[in-house]
Amino acid sequence: MTGVQTCALPICFPVTILVFGLDKVNRDGLIAVIYSPGFGAGWYSWHGIEELMFDPNVVGMIEDGADPYEIEKYCERRYGTDHYFSCDDLAIAWIPEGTEFMIHEYDGSESLRFRSEMRWNVA
């Protein structure tokens, strides 16, 4: 079926973007979401820190082409030692503010899945 998204649990991470108190980059109603599309090691799916998925400093570092090692060191200083792999493969998705989404991970490759595009089953 076209347009149907599936998710092999437990490696989907539901996130509602309407979380108050998190710093986010908002440009003309679009929110920056950091993820890692490359295979090998996930970003959010490995560290699970919601705030880091939106961190304005990391967004700026990615946009400025910062050395991946510098991004990793910043994350360790800001969030403590954790799994900050795939810094060399980080990407930014710009999604409309208020959009419900989840980070889906398969073999280290992360992608965004939107609630509005998913087919939910009912028992």
Of 101 and 119, more confident: 101
Average pLDDT of the residues in 47-56: 92
Sheet holding 109-114, edge to edge: 12-16, 100-106, 109-114
Length of the chain, please? 123
**37 — alpha (psi -120 to 50), left (phi > 0) or beta?**
alpha
pLDDT of 27:
94
Rounded (to 5) percent helix, strand, coil in the chain: 30, 30, 45
The listed range with the strongest mean pLDDT (15-24, 36-45, 55-64, 106-115) is 55-64
What's the rounded Cα separation, in Å, for the pair 117 and 30?
18
